[in-house]
Amino acid sequence: MENKVNDFSMPIRKEDKKIKIGLIGLGTVGSGVFKTLKSFGNVEVVKIAVRNINKPRNIEGLDSSIVTDDAFSVVNDPNIDIVVELIGGLEPAFQLIETAIKNGKHIVTANKELLAKRGEELFKFAEENNRVILYEAAIAGGIPIIMPIKTILAGNAITRIEAILNGTTNYILTKMDVQGASYEDVLKEAQELGYAEADPTGDVEGFDAAYKITTLATLAFKKRIKIDKVYREGITKIRAKDMEAAHDLGYKIKLIASAYLSKDGKADVRVHPMLVSQKSTLAHINYVTNAVSLEGHPVGGITLSGPGAGEFPTASSVVGDILAIAAELNTTNYLLPMMRCNHSSAAEMIDIADTENKYYLSINAKNNKGVIGKIGTICAENEISLASIVQRGVSEDNTADITVITELCREKDMQKTIKAFEADDMINKVNSMIRVQI
């Protein structure tokens, strides 16, 4: 019997034509997409738009004749079926996608900022023109989350999401935890290794994770989440001492993107550092790994984890979207109905001030008799009960570092308590306030 070599690329019948792909962006992800698509015989990249056409690109099989610095020539090319946008940002990405849809093209994008800020417009415009926008790579890199929610989890009422959605911040916090190093030192190391940008603001101040949880919560709750209503707090104030204290108390500190849907349909969506129990799954998601935990009925709780960024992990999600569209082109007049945006009402958002949380506080106070009692009194006066209070030593200047964990209390009461601490003569400073996973 003749030995046959397995060929896992999609077969092409003579009467079939290859699906034409236009790439906008040939950076890390774009390069991974181009390389990966070479394995599939039913699709062909026919045009690629780049910012700098003269930049050397060590990509095997790249025909320089299909590379252009005119992105609009891609979206206006009548031969292209699918436009893949991988440049990020609001403009010119919005205008390019809008033009591509007008010209009858389907869209694959990894642009989390664009979806969070102008997704409502784009999805509405795409539906009016009977085109689809797929965006698996815009949430968690190589972790499949959009299609599972839209398909296999479609029968669930999802009410809670807790996720680690930014590899840079997770890398920094992990290194701070493992090495006992300062935020500044680890950030510098992360920049040298290429895990953090020269300007890391988008990552370390929580913008990137906020964009992602906005779109993910919109999808999971079937109600549109407004990005300007999402509470955001970064990791720049986290100290090595906080890491040490959290560890002693049985926690890890992670930047958590969370979304909760109350029984009356209100949404609490936010990004901030959190003390996460060492017994929880998210506590053990380290370095650049991402994870998404969902709770819903009837599935209960599930967690998906994996690489949240990088050339091939993100390319995996982009290519999956491309092939999903390619499989249905020329077979139906209404592609991928389950993957389309099917909601228009906005969720009523819960303001952070009206939420209830547990809190970790690190307080520097004078090493005087009665100071711990005074902290307890101020908390009680503001409707806050304490789960624990520990003095962590006395410094040479005769000040004491005191760690507090509260019971469940209102955010607005905690903010009043911090102001009362700062006004008290016995208390020098509230070094840290970090919310605790419930």
Evaluate the omega torsion of the peptide bond into residue 92 and state whether it is cis, within 30 degrees of 0: yes
Q: Which one is catalytic: 105, 175, 212, 374? A: 212
Q: Write down the H helix ranges in 107-205.
A: 112-128, 137-140, 146-150, 167-179, 183-193, 201-204
In one-letter notation, the amino acid at residue 8 is F
**Sign, CA torsion 37/48/196/359:** negative
* Token pair belonging to 266: 């209100």
* Token pair belonging to 313: 């992990």
- Helices 371-381 and 411-423 meet at what angle, rounded to 10? 140
Residue 363 C-alpha from the chain's centroid: 31
Strands 67-68, 82-85: parallel, antiparallel or unpaired by DSSP? unpaired
Match 């079926």 to its residue by tokens: 81
Evaluate the omega torsion of the peptide bond into residue 298 and state whether it is cis, within 30 degrees of 0: yes
> What is the maximum alpha-carbon separation in the chain?
91
Q: Give 98's contacts (C-beta < 8 A, 6+ positions apart).
A: 122, 125
Q: Contact at 8 Å (CB) between 360 and 388?
A: no
Q: How many CB atoms within 10 Å of residue 162?
A: 24
Q: Give 369's contacts (C-beta < 8 A, 6+ positions apart).
A: none
Half-sphere exposure of 230 (CA within 13 A, CB side): 31
Q: Which residues of 203-215 are buried (b: 16+ CB within 10 A; e: fewer)?
A: bbbbbbbbbbbbb
**Sign, CA torsion 89/90/92/97:** positive
In one-letter notation, the amino acid at residue 388 is S
Q: How far apart are CA 435 and CA 357, in angstroms?
A: 6
Look up 55 and say whether it is catalytic.
Answer: no
Match 């550092």 to its residue by tokens: 273
Residues in the chain: 438
Q: Annotated active-site positions, please? A: 212
